[in-house]
């Protein structure tokens, strides 16, 4: 007879694109966030693999595995209403538990998808920004899985600075990914 250890309580499965403010709110409530690649399929795969029940994407897709195997708007609405009833609070008040971290996303058309670890100028730019952000933000650079694009996402408290940094990284990436 095989016994399995239950997953840690209050675990949310979310993609790498999900806002850092969400992770901070979940941690503040005693939970944790497990991140996956972008796409509902990766969220659901991780949920099934690790025994988690709740996950979603920044796009708004919420997956409750005890009710459905895909994002379902009606299930999400009903679960949200259930929390509102249980807590006795309107959604406007419940939403205040999360403070959104400013997030900038730059999409860049690329001719070639050169592995990022083979682009030293891009790696230096990323490392420089990460050093300046410290624990206050994060940098995510990835290629789209469906388009000939690179995506540069930066989160941090100063929106003007993170926009500047995202443009710098995108510029280095554009230069490196020319044919």
Q: Which of 71, 97, 123 is the endpoint of a domain? A: 97
pLDDT of 42: 94
Q: Which residues contact 80 (CB under 8 A, 6 or more apart)?
A: 91
User: Are residue 127 and residue 88 in the same domain, yes or no?
Assistant: no
User: Are residue 80 and residue 113 in the same domain, yes or no?
Assistant: no
User: Are residue 93 and residue 157 in the same domain, yes or no?
Assistant: no
Q: Which of 53, 77, 97 is the endpoint of a domain? A: 97
pLDDT at 13 over 90: yes
Q: Which of 68, 97, 126 is the endpoint of a domain? A: 97
**pTM, to two decimals:** 0.80
Number of structural domains (the chain) is 2
pLDDT at 1 over 60: no
User: Residue 6 domain-assigned?
Assistant: no
User: Residue 1 domain-assigned?
Assistant: no
Average pLDDT of the chain to the nearest whole number: 89
User: Are residue 88 and residue 157 in the same domain, yes or no?
Assistant: no
> Across residues 29-39, what is the average pLDDT?
92
What domain range is 33 assigned to? 11-97
Closest to 156 (Cα-Cα) out of 105, 107, 103: 103
What is the helix (H) or strand (E) element at residue 124, kind and residue range? helix 120-133
User: How far apart (Å, rounded) are the C-alpha atoms in residues 140 and 162?
Assistant: 12
User: How far apart (Å, rounded) are the C-alpha atoms in residues 114 and 142?
Assistant: 11
């Amino acid at each position: 007879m095989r016994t399995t250890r239950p997953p840690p309580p209050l675990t949310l499965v979310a993609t790498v694109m999900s806002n850092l403010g969400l992770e901070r709110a979940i941690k503040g409530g005693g939970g944790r966030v497990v991140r996956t690649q972008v796409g509902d399929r990766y969220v659901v795969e991780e949920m099934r693999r690790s025994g988690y029940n709740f996950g979603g994407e920044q796009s708004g897709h919420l997956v409750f595995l005890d009710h459905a195997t895909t994002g379902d708007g009606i299930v999400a609405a009903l679960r949200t209403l259930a929390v509102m009833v249980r807590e006795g609070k309107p959604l406007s008040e419940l939403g205040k538990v999360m403070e959104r971290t400013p997030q900038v996303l730059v999409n860049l058309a690329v001719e070639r998808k050169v592995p990022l670890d083979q682009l030293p100028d891009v790696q230096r730019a990323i490392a420089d920004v990460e050093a300046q952000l410290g624990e206050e933000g994060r940098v995510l650079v990835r290629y789209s899985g469906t388009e000939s694009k690179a995506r540069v996402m930066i989160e941090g408290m100063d929106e003007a600075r993170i926009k500047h940094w995202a443009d710098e990284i995108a510029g280095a990436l554009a230069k490196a990914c020319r044919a």
